[in-house]
């Protein structure tokens, strides 16, 4: 695996691959890689000749009181994992490389970014859209792979790519879970032993709500309220538990068939998100 940190070095390698006729898949990450990330790389390998992974803890997607400074940075371990799953190139840029002080441009996927996580993390999705747009312009891959755990992020990026006519296909990859159902996340490492025991209840709440809907309960508000109450009793502080249409993430109505339930909740200082999508 090659590791490069400058845009020029990355572009030069991409140019050589393009001249040789290779297709390129791209997996952007913030590092601290877990099996969910490795699944993205594995799927990428199956679909393209060359796989580029980036590790960049993106400052513009963190709020002023969020965990940018303490976000786990585990580069050596990450590099070993990427070598083991046959990554071709790792892009490891510095903050100064991606955000020179002259930068002025912003990107905002306005409607979608104000919902759900966006309502609790102002500016978060603008930061995500900006960095993913920049990385796509730098790598110019055929295929972009993103985890479905960040369901709203995936929707924001799909919308940006469509709205800006960016020439890339996007593939969402199913959430990888621990054996007790907890969605893998770099932030799981913040949980105390006791919080880690409680954390799988987030996924269980999603499953219970899905079962209630599939059993024919039409009262989505009551289903959400019940799950929020149960999660609070278990020790979570719930940001939202929303039953939505999966295409635009607006509140689901009686006639909607393709649904996603999105949840974000905190255990102590750790904010966890998860979702289930299904057809009824």
> Which of 37, 116, 120, 124 does the annotation list as catalytic?
37
10 Å CB burial of residue 46 (0-12, 13-18, 19+) is exposed
10 Å CB burial of residue 185 (0-12, 13-18, 19+) is buried
Using left for φ > 0, alpha for ψ between -120 and 50, and beta otherwise, residue 138 falls in alpha
29 touches ligand PAF by CB under 6 A: yes
Q: Which stretch binds ligand PAF (CB under 6 A): 28-36, 194-202, 206-214, 272-280?
A: 28-36
Using left for φ > 0, alpha for ψ between -120 and 50, and beta otherwise, residue 205 falls in alpha
According to CB under 6 A, which one of 10, 13, 28, 113 is a site residue for ligand PAF? 28
Question: Shortest CA distance to 166 belongs to which of 157, 174, 175?
Answer: 157
184/260 with CB nearer ligand PAF: 184
Task: Reply yes or no on whether 37 is catalytic.
Answer: yes
38 touches ligand PAF by CB under 6 A: no
- How many residues of this chain interact with ligand PAF, rule: CB under 6 A? 10
Shortest distance (Å) from residue 111 CB to ligand PAF: 19
**Is there a contact between 237 and 265 (Cβ–Cβ < 8 Å)?**
yes
* Token pair 């209630």 in the structure block, residue: 212
Q: For the chain, how big is the Rg over CA atoms in Å? A: 19
Q: Which stretch binds ligand PAF (CB under 6 A): 22-30, 62-70, 174-182, 225-233?
A: 22-30
36 touches ligand PAF by CB under 6 A: no
According to CB under 6 A, which one of 61, 140, 195, 201 is a site residue for ligand PAF? 61
DSSP H or E stretch at residue 138: helix 124-139
14/173 with CB nearer ligand PAF: 173
Q: How far apart are CA 220 and CA 222, in angstroms?
A: 5
Q: How far apart are CA 165 and CA 177, in angstroms?
A: 33
Applying the rule CB under 6 A, the residues between 157 and 196 that interact with ligand PAF are none
153/201 with CB nearer ligand PAF: 153
231 touches ligand PAF by CB under 6 A: no
Shortest distance (Å) from residue 63 CB to ligand PAF: 14
According to CB under 6 A, which one of 25, 98, 132, 206 is a site residue for ligand PAF? 132
Shortest distance (Å) from residue 149 CB to ligand PAF: 8
Please list the helix, strand and coil fractions of the chain in percent, rounded to the nearest 5, in that order.
45, 20, 35
According to CB under 6 A, which one of 88, 150, 239, 274 is a site residue for ligand PAF? 150
Pairing of strands 258-267, 237-245: antiparallel
Applying the rule CB under 6 A, the residues between 69 and 128 that interact with ligand PAF are 128
Residues found near ligand PAF in the complex (CB under 6 A): 28-30, 58, 61, 128, 131-132, 150, 153
Q: Could you give the residue numbers annotated as active site?
A: 37
């Amino acid at each position: 695996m090659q590791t490069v940190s400058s845009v020029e070095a990355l572009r030069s390698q991409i140019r050589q691959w393009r001249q040789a006729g290779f297709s390129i898949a791209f997996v952007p990450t913030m590092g601290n890689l877990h099996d969910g990330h490795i699944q993205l790389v594995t799927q990428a390998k199956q679909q393209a000749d060359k796989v580029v992974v980036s590790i960049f803890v993106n400052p513009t997607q963190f709020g002023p009181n969020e965990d940018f400074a303490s976000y786990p940075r585990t580069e050596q371990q990450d590099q070993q994992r990427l070598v083991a799953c046959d990554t071709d190139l790792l892009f490891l840029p510095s903050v100064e490389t991606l955000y020179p002080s002259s930068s002025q441009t912003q990107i905002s996927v306005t409607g979608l970014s104000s919902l759900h996580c966006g309502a609790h993390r102002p500016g978060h999705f603008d930061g995500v859209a900006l960095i993913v747009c920049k990385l796509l312009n730098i790598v110019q891959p055929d295929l972009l792979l993103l985890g479905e755990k960040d369901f709203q992020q995936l929707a924001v990026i799909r919308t940006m790519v469509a709205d800006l006519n960016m020439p890339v296909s996007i593939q969402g990859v199913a959430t990888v879970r621990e054996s007790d159902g907890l969605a893998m996340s770099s932030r799981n490492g913040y949980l105390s032993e006791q919080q880690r025991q409680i954390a799988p209840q987030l996924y269980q709440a999603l499953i219970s709500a899905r079962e209630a809907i599939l059993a024919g309960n039409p009262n989505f508000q009551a289903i959400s309220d019940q799950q929020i109450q149960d999660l609070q009793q278990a020790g979570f502080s719930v940001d939202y538990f929303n039953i939505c249409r999966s295409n635009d993430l607006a509140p689901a109505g009686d006639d909607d068939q393709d649904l996603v339930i999105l949840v974000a909740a905190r255990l102590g200082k750790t904010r966890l998100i998860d979702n289930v999508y299904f057809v009824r």
